[in-house]
Structure formats: structure tokens, C-alpha cells
Amino acid sequence: MRWFRFALLILFVAVLQASVLANMDVRPDLLLILLVFFAIYCNATEAIITSFAIGFAADLIGSPIPMGPQMLSFGIFGTLLAYLHRVIAIRKMPFQALAIFATTLLAGTFAHFLAFLIKSEPLTLSIFRTLFWMAIYSAIVGPFLFLPSAWWMRIRINRFTRH
Amino acid sequence: MLFTWFMLAGFIFLFAPQNLTDRFQVAFFRVFQMPLSIGENISLSVRTPRLLSDDTNVVPRREHVKLQNRCADLEAWLRQEHEKLEKLAQLRARLPLEGAALVDAGVLSASFDKLHGELIIDQGRDDGLEKEQFVLADYSIIGRVSSVLSHEARVKLFTNPTSKNIAVNINGTKQFMQGTGDNLAKIPMVRNTVKTDTEIMAARAPGFLDAPMIIGKVVRCERNSESAVLWDIIVKPACDIKHLNSVVVIVMNPQK
């Protein structure tokens, strides 16, 4: 695992998410797409580290939501996805899209729920509506972003497991 | 074991005081201010049509809006002064914002989507800022300070879905405006409709705002979902919040 490239990729995507995509009404969650990518194509240990790191990056740009909920949420669901991938191969694009959709919905809902529970952040219906469309958009766009991510990280994606 | 350690770190961030964890977020926006502003400019330039005319007789739209807002503020203050005169006030009246300090602040980051409506500015407690102070742009109210660090502060825009603390004058009564996200707010449960483009003035707030100031304009009126006889007045900001680079914070009675 090339950690320096990973750090650069996450920083780039975080800046992109917080600037170019920030003012779109409905936008894909690029960090979550990366979460699913690393959960599928890395081993368990690397998947855990990358999930929590991506969650930390999501917390940094997640203002006004306070820090903590997304780090936990991404970490838990990234790890679960990594272990699920050992049982059910998520190789084909439709399955990857489904994984992105489910992870976006579940991780997003859990993060907002944690923020509501611990930090008293508001929890309104519009949040779930926005999360749903974000999940749809991410599921459509996500699988196509796996190839450039794999190229940057020097990961082969035409095999079941990575060496 | 690794999972447990990371979960512990996550819980530490979750339960740490927010003014401590806010520093991480603000530090990120400060360090990456340039690439973030480049990205925002790209995003906004794609969405905003460019003006082709450079006719010297044409005033730029932003300048036009700024002057309109200034006019509206002056008219409101004039009405207020007329009322005071009619009441034959015993106390010597102060000019609006006479005792206030106006603190210029640069915008470090901004978010305006359906869920958020917030700015992070580069002035903080050391510059005299406190929570609930009103924030202006182009002579119009855009929101209130929601949290303050030493050198930065967060501004909750009045269009933020959690914003409910800005009172406005409508049809002669005072009501609280609620943000709805997506750069809009509503004044709920109003008896009568209001014409489109009517100026909405923020009401005086003792200690924070000593004269009405324009905050928005009416976009449309919708039937209230709970009561068919009442209306929700949908309001848009009086200035172009998405293109702001700097704002002004009203500090009433600053300590010298």
C-alpha cells in the first residue's frame, strides 16, 4: 500500500469535495466512493486504516457538523464492507454501485444520528432526502472512478485479491 | 486491536469540546485556503453566466444591489426616526449604528447547500466578536455569529435550516424567520400574502442591532402546510451570498 499516494489522493479529494462540489445541490460523496474502493481492493488491516483516515478527512470538511461522527461511521462501515468482501465478491460494476449506494446511505445516516445524539445537531427529513440522492449520484459515478484511483494507487483491480 | 484504537480516537473526537475540534476544521480551511478558493471560483463561474457588456453606462449588478439595499436601510431608518419624533421621545436619540464598531472580516470558507448555510470568517474573539452578533454584506443582514474562536468565527446564515433566531418585521408585526436551506428562508404562518420583491427588514434586537436593516426579498407565498388560512412567505437574501469574499460584523458598544 502506497501511503504517501493515499494521503495525497485523500487530500485532493477532500479539497475537491469542499470547494468545487460544495455548492452543488445534489452531489456525489467522493470520499465515500474512495472508502468503498479501498475496502474492496485492500486487505483488512489497510481497509481499517483507510476507512478511519477517510472518515477523519470527511470530518475536517464536514463543517458545521462537529468532528467525530463521520470518522466513526466511515470506520465502522468501511471495516464491515472489507469483511463482507471476503464472503461476497464485489467485483462487477453493478455490485460496486450497490455497495456504494448502501454504504452512503448507512454511513451518512449513522453519522447524522451520532451528531444528533451526542452533539444535538438537527435531524430533519431533508437530510435523508439529500442523503438518498447523494447515494444515487455516488452509485452512478463511483464505479467509474475506481479505475483512475487504482491507477494512482498502483492497485490491480482485475483480480479477486490484491497481492 | 487496530480497529479498537481507531474507534477510541473517533470517540475522543466525538466527545471532545467542540471549540477544540473546531480548531482542526478551521486549521484545514486556513492551510488549504488557496486551493479551496480556486475550486469555489471554478464552481461559481460554471454556474454564473458571464456578463458580455462592458458599457460604461451600465452599473454592475452587485453594485446595483448594494445601492438598492443601502436605500432600503436608509428608508427604514427614516421611518423609525419619524416614529420616534411622533412619540416625542424624551431621551436624546442616537443615529443607527452610532455606537457600533463595524469589523471587516474575510471569508475563509462557505457552504450553501440544502443542509448547510455557514461561513467561516477570519476575525474572532480577539477582534471583539461574540456570539449572536449580526453580520452584514452589501448593507444587508446575512446571518449571526454562531461560534467564536480566538481568531476565527462561524457565521450561521439566516438561510441555514437551523436558523430560527432572526426576527423580521412583516405586515406591522414581528415574526421569526426560519432558514429552509438552498439559499432561502421562510416566515411561517403569516395572515396575509406579501407581494413578490417586497423588502423584508430584520427587526431591532437590543444589544445587537439598533435599527431595522434589510435582510431579504420575497420570492413567493405558499399556503402553510398546517393551516390553510395562513401563508408561508419565502424570502431570498438581499445580496449575492455565494460570491462574498468579505463581510462586516456589527459589534454594538465595543469595549475600548
Contact B113 A25 (CB under 8 A): yes
Residue with cell 458599457: B55
Provide the chain A residues 144-163 that lie in CB contact (below 8 A) with chain B: none
Identify which of B120, B36, B107 has the alpha carbon closest to the alpha carbon of residue A11: B36
Q: Measured between CB atoms, does A82 come within 8 Å of chain B? A: no
Joined grid coordinates for residue B53: 457588456
Q: What stretches of chain B adopt beta strand conformation (E)?
A: 100-111, 118-121, 134-137, 140-148, 153-157, 166-170, 173-181, 184-190, 199-202, 213-223, 231-237, 246-252
Burial of B219 (0-12, 13-18, 19+ CB in 10 A): middle
**What is the mean predicted confidence (pLDDT) over B74-83?**
82
Residue A160 has what pLDDT?
47
CA distances from B63 to A74, B50, B58, B142 (A): 45, 16, 10, 17
Among residues of chain A, what percentage have pLDDT more than 90?
Answer: 52
Q: Measured between CB atoms, does B20 come within 8 Å of chain A? A: no
Q: Measured between CB atoms, does B48 come within 8 Å of chain A? A: no
Mean pLDDT of chain B: 83
Identity of the residue in A59, A75, A127 whose CB atom sits nearest the CB atom of B6 = A75
Chain B CB contacts of A50 below 8 Å: none
Residue A161: which pLDDT band, with cuts at 50, 70 and 90? Answer: very low
Q: Measured between CB atoms, does A18 come within 8 Å of chain B? A: yes
Identity of the residue in B12, B13, B39 whose CB atom sits nearest the CB atom of A20 = B39
Residue B254 has what pLDDT?
67
Identify which of B249, B241, B244, B190 has the alpha carbon closest to the alpha carbon of residue B218: B190
Q: Is the pLDDT of residue B108 over 90?
A: no
Q: What is the pLDDT of residues A32-63, one digit of tens each?
A: 999 999 999 988 899 999 999 999 999 998 87
A5 C-beta neighbours (distance < 10 Å), count = 13
Q: Measured between CB atoms, does B13 come within 8 Å of chain A? A: yes
- What whole-number distance in Å separates Cα of residue B96 and Cα of residue B57? 33
Segment (H or E) for A47: helix A44-60
What distance lies between CA B62 and its chain's CA centroid?
17
Residues 6+ apart with CB under 8 A from B68: B238
Residue A141 has what pLDDT?
92
Q: Measured between CB atoms, does A78 come within 8 Å of chain B? A: no
Q: What is the pLDDT of residues B13-30, one digit of tens each?
A: 888 888 788 888 888 888
Residue in A23, A29, A81, A109 to test binding to B, most B beta-carbons within 10 Å:
A23
- Higher confidence at residue B192 or residue A13? A13
Query: Which parts of A61-120 fold into alpha helices (H)?
Result: 69-87, 93-119
Domain range summary for chain A, segments of one domain joined by +: 26-153
Residue with cell 452512503: A104
ipTM exceeds 0.95, yes or no = no
Q: For residues A78 and A48, is the Cβ–Cβ distance under 8 A?
A: yes
Which 8-state DSSP code applies to residue B178? E
Rounded to the nearest angstrom, the minimum Cα separation between B75 and chain A is: 34
Lowest mean pLDDT among A45-54, A73-82, B204-213: B204-213
Residue in A16, A60, A79, A120 to test binding to B, most B beta-carbons within 10 Å:
A60
